[in-house]
Structure 1
Amino acid sequence: MQRVAKFEKVSFEQFKKDWADTFYVTDGIEKIYEDIKLPKRATAGSAGYDFYAPMAFELKPGETIKIPTGIRVKINDGWVLKLYPRSGLGFKFRVQMNNTVGIIDSDYYNSDNEGHIFCKITNDTNEDKTVSVNKGTGFCQGIFVEYGITFDDDVTDERNGGFGSTGM
């Protein structure tokens, strides 16, 4: 296996800013930040790196949550991190990523928000099931994938921002 990336925490200042922007509170933020676990694979054969919930949450049918993970990733050129819901949450509860697949480009690491990875998920159940996720439990997974570019690609622009910074 190639080693192509390294997970890190964003700075406490960035996490606190993004947490307050998402949840409008900072009570207990130091403990939440301190407890953040870096993504890990569950087994030697796992392709996905589990991202762990920084706090407990519940999603009733149709509800959505945006989670600042506190994580950033430094990725080698030519690779991308794709984010998906954990398979069990998708299968049992129909939890879905709001952007279908999260794409974390290698240059996102250097963006204005330190490359802070957010996951926005929805409980899209059609079985009236409520999803409960405990703090520290895996709720989404990331898989590193190699990609190519066309022979006539001449892009030289660099990222200067987070979500939507390249035009959407």
Structure 2
Amino acid sequence: MNKFERVSETEYGKVLASDCSAKNGVICVTPYENIKLPHRATVQSAGYDFFSPISFKLKPGQTIKVPTFVKAQLSHGRVLMLYPRSSYGFKYRMQLDNTVGVVDGDYYNNESNEGHIFIKITNDSKTGKTLEVNVGDAFAQGIIIGYDVTDNDDATAIRTGGMGSTSVWTIFST
């Protein structure tokens, strides 16, 4: 089963308290009950639009880690790939800091991580444009795709943590 869900209200409150203060570049945050789950705009859309639950402005060279307050339950053999929304990349050179986000199926509700998807972006404008994203704006897109493994694959490890080797991030930097 592939589906998007809101993170728990506990996770929402934790991120609100630690990552969403004005000093970190966040202008405002949507209330929990107004969090929009990703969805496709048309029947031919490959990508599910991710809507920003925060308003923020990024000057050229600035970076922000956007909490989506969303998690993805994915079927076995599926992965969620995250990309900038085309119009932001085209107009502002908005880039994901890891170039393409890869959300594995075992990121969802594992032993120590609820599966909260964060999207870290940079305004890489070469023309001095400030990137402004408001609450509710579609700013990124996710595509669920299937993958295969080799016949001699021997992976047996179980994920017990969050992204990479650490979950310590800077939300806003210049």
TM-score normalised according to structure 1 size? 0.90
Structure 1 position 118, deviation (Å): 0.3
Distance 1:60 1:86 in 2: 18
Deviations 1:55-100 (CA, angstroms, capped at 9, x unpaired): 2111111111111110001000111000001000000100000010
Alignment of 1:1-150 (within 5 A): 4-24=1-21, 32-111=31-110, 112-150=112-150
Corresponding residue SS for 1:56: strand
Corresponding residue SS for 2:10: helix
Structure 1 position 134, deviation (Å): 1.4
Corresponding residue SS for 2:54: coil
The percent of aligned pairs where both chains have the same amino acid is 54
Structure 1 position 165, deviation (Å): 4.2
Unaligned ranges ≥5, structure 2: 23-27, 167-174
Structure 1 position 24, deviation (Å): 4.5
User: Aligned-residue CA RMSD in angstroms?
Assistant: 1.7
1:18 aligned partner, one-letter code: V
Matched residue, 1:152:
152
TM-score normalised according to structure 2 size? 0.87
Distance 2:122 2:5 in 1: 26
Distance 2:2 2:165 in 1: 22
Structure 1 position 16, deviation (Å): 1.4
Distance 2:16 2:146 in 1: 31
Corresponding residue SS for 2:31: helix
2:42 aligned partner, one-letter code: T
**How many residue pairs are counted as aligned between the two chains?**
160
Unaligned ranges ≥5, structure 1: none
Distance 1:74 1:62 in 2: 33
